[in-house]
A and B are shown apart, each in its own frame.
Chain A
Amino acid sequence: MENMKFDKNTFGKRLRTMLSVDFRRMFTMPFLYIMVGICLVMPILILVMTTMMDGSVSVNPQTGAETVIEGFDNVWQIIGTVSNDSTASTEAVAMDMSITAMCNINMLYFIIAVLVCVFVSADFRSGYAKNLFTVRAKKSDYIISKTLVCFVGGTMMILAFLIGAMLGGAISGLPFEMIGFGTGELVMCILSKVVLVSVFVPIYLLMSVIAKQKSWMSILLSMMVGMFLFMMIPMLTPLNATIMNVVLCLLGGVLLSVGMGAISQLTLKKKDIL
């Protein structure tokens, strides 16, 4: 009894087991599939409905002012916009408040917040956090694993949206022609949008860890904080993106994952779990 030995619980082993728990949970969670389904259907509805309403005029009965509803000119508009190098046009892209600029793939970064917050808060709401943190003295494996798994969940949503956009474009008869960008740039754009998920996930994770079982509070906090970065999305991920955009997003993702991850870890260390 004097020399009680315990197996070495290395970081690798801890992370592996935590990832196994989180992936198992994520892929058996009906909520993930509901969210992916929503992401698939959403662009179809947006493209079909805006195409149907394209050019129609709505009249304000009080002022008599007429507003022409503008739909999408081509399918790729729902994925992003073409950015020019001049500062003025970059600002114009960032400040564009039209329906085509707002109802696009970028709004997914808000919806991902819901997935992350619901996923993390379920640990605390169900009491499973007791099982997790009793056998996990180090909180880093929890944070890293949650970041990676939520990134995968977010990526699935982005990809579902892309598939939905293709289907929606085909159904509504919108052109697929690429104006001002090529296939390679489109691939880079999609890649940078996927990588950009890693910028948002650590922020949402931190909010979830702070709010614990109160998912409504974590969603609210996440959306509030995410709002500050929202305007940057079109600038970081234009349709004519290059490898630099991907690298920038990756850099941002890594920096935020490390920074926010450290704060999340500290929050778990300092705050009571229950």
Chain B
Amino acid sequence: MNAIEIKGLTKNFGQKQALKGLDMTVPVGAIYGFIGENGSGKSTTEKIICGLLHQTDGSVKIFGREQNDADVRAKMGVLIEAPGCFPNYSVWNNMMLQAANLGITNAEQEVVKVLKMVRMEGAASNKYKNCSLGMKQRIGIAMALLGNPRLLVLDEPINGLDADGMRIMREVLCDLAENYGVTIIISSHILGELEKIATHYGIVRGGKMMAEMTAHELEDSCRTYIALQTKDMNRAKMLLGCKYSRVEEDEARYIRVYDEAAPEEIVSYLYKEGIVVSELSTDKIGLEEYYIDLMKEGRQ
């Protein structure tokens, strides 16, 4: 069974078409990294899943049921854009209000539990409006975790979090998915962080799903490359560029050869041309580079 099954999702905002027949499948228990450029339709899709926007066309099924099934929707946690909190209420009162909204019987214990999970128990008496951006994000996450949700929809949840906050977030989400079978849809531009937790990916562009894959599939499709350094970088790059189809210089001033060439072959070729390779390694491109490549291909 899939937690989310979206078919042909279309959303128009007046003349502007934000989603153009998007398909999406999120398996139960997955941490689904939802990636795309700004304005690609990620947040719109998430808002439709949560029932905050109405689609123009297409179908959304949640755990095999209709999108408007009251039983399923009661088991959703959400953090979209900013947490929905009353600025003049304390963190505690906001949490208790959400607990009341979810009909949690042992509300106080539950609120303490989730606040502890995001390390916010010490700030419970603070007024929400006085909290920093990072604290607000943590509160939003805590709020989404209330009531043991089966599906979490998180839009840019790690924005504004410090390194420790990101680590906590990572641990919490992995624990929820692995030990409690919670399905998590998480959109973020911080791909390096997403790569550490996501089990599935969906890459959206211009309101359409470009690719959906598991983390293993992504790993397989991520090209290997050889990175090397020489004293004469410019000449080496020129020579390799003539022999291999894709040669680039990265930010750390390493030459990358993406073709499936053997390292020995490259070393001996450059040696014959009078260039000594001082450093050489083989590696795979990460999610970020894969995504950038895919976007480039899409544009072309």
Contacting pair B1 A127 (CB below 8 A): no
> A6, B63: Cβ atoms under 8 Å?
yes
Do B70 and A9 have beta carbons less than 8 Å apart? yes
Which candidate, B76-84, B112-120, B209-217, B272-280, is the interface stretch facing chain A?
B76-84
Count of interface residues, chain A, beta-carbon cutoff 8 Å? 37
- Per DSSP, chain B at the interface is loop
Chain-A contact segment, one of B99-107, B166-174, B253-261, B288-296: B99-107
Asked whether, in the complex, the Cβ of A133 is within 8 Å of the Cβ of B71, the reply is no
User: Nearest chain-B residue to A6 (Cβ)?
Assistant: B71
Q: Which residues of A contact B70 (CB under 8 A)?
A: 9, 14, 136-138
B102-A4 in contact (CB<8A) = no
Query: Contacts of B50 on A, CB cut-off 8 Å?
Result: 130, 133-134
Chain A: minimal CB distance from B168 (Å): 22
Q: How many residues of B contact A (CB 8 A)?
A: 44
Interface 0/1 of B43-73, CB less than 8 Å to A: 0000100111110000000011001111111
Contact, CB under 8 Å: A21 / B28: no
Contact pick for A24, options B28, B52, B76, B100, CB 8 Å = B100
Of chain A, the residue at the smallest CB distance from B68 is A137
Q: Is A85 an interface residue (CB 8 A)?
A: no
Question: Known: A130-B78, A274-B47. Contact between A8 and B71, CB under 8 A?
Answer: yes
**A6 x B75 contact (CB < 8 A):** yes
Does A67 sit at the interface, judged by CB under 8 A?
no
In the bound complex, CA of A140 to CA of B75 (Å): 19
In the complex, 29 of the A-B residue pairs with CB atoms within 8 angstroms, ordered by the A residue number, are A2-B1, A4-B28, A6-B72, A7-B71, A9-B74, A17-B101, A17-B102, A20-B100, A20-B103, A21-B100, A24-B96, A25-B86, A25-B97, A126-B85, A126-B86, A127-B84, A128-B84, A129-B84, A130-B52, A131-B84, A131-B98, A134-B51, A134-B77, A135-B74, A135-B76, A138-B68, A270-B54, A272-B52, A274-B47
